[in-house]
Structure 1
Amino acid sequence: MNVSEGKSVTVHYVLKLENGRVYESTLEEDPLVYTHGQGEIIKGMEKELTGMSIGQQKTFIVEPEEGYGEVTLDALLEVPREHVPMEARMVGEKITAVGPKGQKVEGFVYEDKRKTLVIDFNHPLAGMTLYFEVSVVDIQEPEPA
């Protein structure tokens, strides 16, 4: 059986950044389980996994446009200082906000302009080339609805 549309796929992976640093790994924890073709993982990873079989391993690179996208200036928001919790008012601090559809969005304080703070809501991996090592652990037919 091969990785294809609608299949429940279980993989172990190591994600490294351009400098070779491991950013994320499932090797010491539970593997990732996702439904192929549903957009649950980044496009580039899904594309590379297509057609793989159980036990197969692969190393590949995902460019930003098929990963977490490019860094965009639209994701930088300037907000009044008083709208940010006291403990998060320093450059580099993480902040969680509520998006336009009520979803939680994470960002970090990018710049302190005294009366306002610039919050960066780009994904932390936006603009980065990603280096993956994956192994397919299991492939299952989808559960009947």
Structure 2
Amino acid sequence: MNIAKDTVVQFHYTLTDEQGEQLESSKNGDPVAYLHGHKNMIVGVEKALDGKATGDEFSATVSPEEGYGERQEEAIQRVPVKHLQGAKVWKPGMVATVHTEQGERQVTVVKAGRFMVTVDINHPLAGKTLTFDISVESVREATKEEIEHGHAHGVGGHQH
């Protein structure tokens, strides 16, 4: 079966930056699972996976526009320390999670004070051209429930 809208895809990946430095990999854990065609994956990766099948291995280079977006230099905000999740003590360069009206968001600490923290709200990978080395582990038709919920269920996907 080929990857198309309303299929659940499981894949492993290794992510590298423009210098070839490995940023992350799923190879030592469960594969990533997502519902194809429902905006659950960055655009460049979803486009690269479209039409592929179980066993396919390939590399996809993703521009910032189809990845995590361009960096916006004005995307700096001051927030109360109590809104940051992920550590007890914050230092510049650390990545935190903040709950927003649009859901959870990763931010990077620029300057930390006792009560307020200056954060960069750009995604940590914004503005970067990224290469994903991908191996497709499985492709299956999505269940009616997965399509209704808008995401994959099970290992690597959403757990209800």
TM bucket (normalised to shorter chain) is 0.7 to 0.9
* CA displacement, residues 91-136 of structure 1 (integer Å, 9 cap, x when unaligned): 223343332x1733331222469x9753101101000000111111
CA distance in 2, matches of 1:56, 1:98: 37
Match of 1:3 in 2: 3
* 2:59 paired with 1:59: yes
How many residue pairs match? The answer is: 140
CA distance in 1, matches of 2:97, 2:13: 27
Match of 1:91 in 2: 92
Match of 1:12 in 2: 12
> Which one has a bigger Cα radius of gyration?
1
Instruction: Give the aligned CA root-mean-square deviation in angstroms.
Output: 2.3
Structure 1 residues 8 and 69, CA gap change in structure 2 (3 angstroms):
same
State the AA in 2 paired with 1:87. Answer: V
CA distance in 1, matches of 2:30, 2:38: 21
CA distance in 2, matches of 1:91, 1:35: 36
CA distance in 1, matches of 2:102, 2:36: 27
CA distance in 2, matches of 1:48, 1:62: 9
Identity %: 35
Please report the TM-score for the alignment, with normalisation by the length of structure 2: 0.77
Contact 2:2 2:53 (8 Å CA) reproduced: yes
CA distance in 2, matches of 1:87, 1:39: 35
SS of aligned partner of 2:136: strand
* 2:127 paired with 1:130: no
Structure 1 residues 102 and 136, CA gap change in structure 2 (3 angstroms):
closer
Q: Which 5+ residue runs of structure 2 have no aligned equivalent? A: 83-87, 146-160
Please report the TM-score for the alignment, with normalisation by the length of structure 1: 0.84
CA distance in 1, matches of 2:62, 2:128: 9
CA distance in 2, matches of 1:111, 1:44: 32
